[in-house]
Each structure stands twice: as structure tokens, then as C-alpha cells.
Structure 1
Amino acid sequence: MARSRRGFTLIELLVVVLIVGILATIALPRLQYVREKAFRASMLSDLHNLVSAQEGHLSVVGDYAGGIAASQVLVPGNGGRVALTPSPGNQITVSLAPGPTPMTSGGWSAVATNPGISSGVQSHCGIFMGPVSASPNAAVTQSGVPACY
């Protein structure tokens, strides 16, 4: 008597599920790495945009702005704000360095973070303009060049 075989056996299905599980175990850490790399790229891009905004503020007001906002506030020092909308999830903190006179800053620094970076490796990116003493971290060594640490 001829027996027709239709469908898959339970063993065949279990082998397929096992292979899919192994492939997922290999792929997920790589996916997280690529995701965090994209967050770092967006933080660096936001810091580059901040440099442009700060230099524009400097050319109009004569001093750097003390922070960012949805709309520009054209006053010198800590009261001034540059118009910048960070990428989704990014948070930017701007600090002014003390200047030669009370009315002028000696440069500025900024730190960008994103809570989507969970590995703790290079979870902050920073930039500064002015003297090296304005640097937010020892990893940020060149004025105007952002670095992650």
C-alpha cells in the first residue's frame, strides 16, 4: 500500500525554529550596534548645526548664545538663544566659558546625549569653541570638531 506524505513532520518544524532562533541571536546585537551608531551620527550632526547657529549669533550680537530654543533670542551671554531643533531623542546642553569681560564669553561648549544609546560606550558627544579649557571632556581636543566619548 502506497502512503502519501503531506506536510512537514514535527522534527522538521523544530529544526527550522531552532535555525531561526540562532540567526536572531546573531543578528540582534548587530542591529543594536547599528542603531546606536545612527544615534551618534545624529548627535554629531546636531553639534555641527549648533556651530553654524552659534557663529551666526556671534556675527549679529558679538557674543555666543548661552543655549538653544525654538526661536532665536538675540542678546549676548547666557540670555541669548540660538534657534535649533535637535534630532528626535537628542538632548543638547550648552555652557559658556568665562570671558575677558563680564559682558563677553570666552567661548562655549556643548554636550549631546541620546537615551537610545544603552551600551554606555560613547554615550555623549561634545564640542567646544574657544580655548581648550572650554572643552567638555578630555576626548574633545580640537575647537570646532565634535567627538564622542
Structure 2
Amino acid sequence: MYFSGCWYRNSDRLGRRGTSTRRPRPTVRAGFTLVELLIVVLIIGILAMIAIPRYMESRAHAFRSAAISDLRNLWTSQEIYWSDDTGYSNSLEELDVRPSRGVDLTITAASNEGWAAQASHSFFPAMTCGIYYGSADPSDGEPAEVPGVVSCSR
């Protein structure tokens, strides 16, 4: 037999009984074993157990901050309104106050001597923030306990 310039005999390439003398190539392993996949799923589960509660805490903190910010903005608007009209308003439109997205802001009491308001967030309804000022009844601004200071319940 002639291969690229050399003459070979079949016996040069073949061993006994016509079988090849070459060693079989090792099989290439493709993919992952079941144990490897289970370990990866376990690690992802542990990371999720750590990350999800922290994510929920940060969301609740953001919702609380939005409600507090809106109550503080309301307090500023009420003081500006009082300096112009010597009384407090019971209307958000009259004060030109626009609550943040998801915040339910309500003026619960208003008179010439004081006012109270509450805020809650639609994504975190268990939390309520409140403020009262002046002669307003503290129960109208619940959970506020100190006049002019925003307080929140959990």
C-alpha cells in the first residue's frame, strides 16, 4: 500500500487478527454530574436565604422614608400656609402637596391652633406614620407622641 511517498504493509499498521495497535482515546466527559448540580442549587439557596430578607428590609425602609419625607413636606407647607393665613389647612390641594408614589397622605385634623396627619404606604400597609402640631389631638396624628416629630409604627 502506498501512503504519501512510503510503502506500508497492512501488517505494519495492524496487530494480530487485524486489530489496531493504537490505544483508544480517553472519552471526553461532557456536562455536570447530579451531585455537582445539587451542590450549586444548595449554594444558590443559601445565598437567597441571606439576600431576600435583607432586600425586603431595605424596601420597607425605603417605604418608611417616603412616608416620613411626605409628612415633613406637609409640615413645611402647613407652616407656610399658617404664616400667610394664620390658620392650618385641611386640604392637600390647597397646600399644593403631592405625596410620593404609593404614599397615602391624610390630614386628620386642622384648625387655627394646630393640625395632625397620617401617612401609610400602599406596598407596606402595616406601617403607619403620623405627626401632630400645636393644639391638635395627639390621637389624630397617631403614632406620633411628640408635637412636630414624625413617628412610625411597624
What is the TM-score of this pair, normalised by structure 2? 0.75
Q: Which residue, out of 114, 117, 134, partners 2:124?
A: 117
Instruction: Specify which structure has the higher proportion of helix.
Output: 2
Any residues of structure 2 matched to 1:55-66 within 5 Å, and which?
55-66=79-90
Considering only CA atoms, is the larger Rg found in Structure 1 or Structure 2? 2
Task: Look up the match of 2:41.
Answer: 17
Identify if the C-alpha distance between structure 1 residues 132 and 85 changes in structure 2 by more than 3 Å, giving closer, same or farther: closer
Cα offset, 1:132, TM superposition? 6.2
Contact 2:131/2:147 (8 A) holds in 1: yes
Secondary structure of the structure 2 residue equivalent to 1:105: coil
Aligned residue-pair number: 128
Q: 1:4 matched to which residue of 2?
A: 28
Residue 11 of structure 1 deviates from its aligned partner by: 2.0
Partner of 1:74: none
Deviation readout 1:20-69 (Å, 9 max, x if unpaired): 12221232122111101110011111111001111111111111111202
Matched, 1:84 2:84: no
Do residues 49 (structure 1) and 80 (structure 2) align?
A: no
Consecutive unaligned residues of structure 1, counting only runs of 5 or more, are: 70-80, 98-103
RMSD (CA atoms): 1.8
Whether the 8 Å contact between 1:50 and 1:84 is mirrored in structure 2 is yes
* Deviation, structure 1 residue 106: 2.7
Taking only the aligned residue pairs, the percentage that are identical comes to 39
Distance in 2, matches of 1:132 and 1:52, equals 17
Structure 1 stretch 85-94 or stretch 104-113: which is displaced more?
A: 104-113
Instruction: Give 3-state SS (helix, strand or coil) of 1:85's partner.
Output: coil
Amino acid of the residue matched to residue 58 of structure 2? V
Segment of structure 1 superposing worse, 49-58 or 27-36: 27-36
Residues 86 and 112 in structure 2, CA contact (< 8 A), matched pair in contact too:
no
2:56 to 26, 32, 35: 32
Is 1:141 the counterpart of 2:140? The answer is no
Cα distance in 1 between the residues matched to 2:82 and 2:151 = 23
Residue 94 (structure 1) shift: 0.1
Q: Could you state the TM-score of these two structures normalised by the residue count of structure 1?
A: 0.77
2:109 maps to amino acid: L
Moved beyond 3 Å, runs of 4+? none
Structure 2, unaligned runs of 5 or more: 1-23
**Matching of residue 68 in structure 1 with residue 81 in structure 2:** no
Classify the secondary structure of the residue corresponding to 1:95: strand
Alignment CA distance shift 1:126-1:112 (3 Å): same
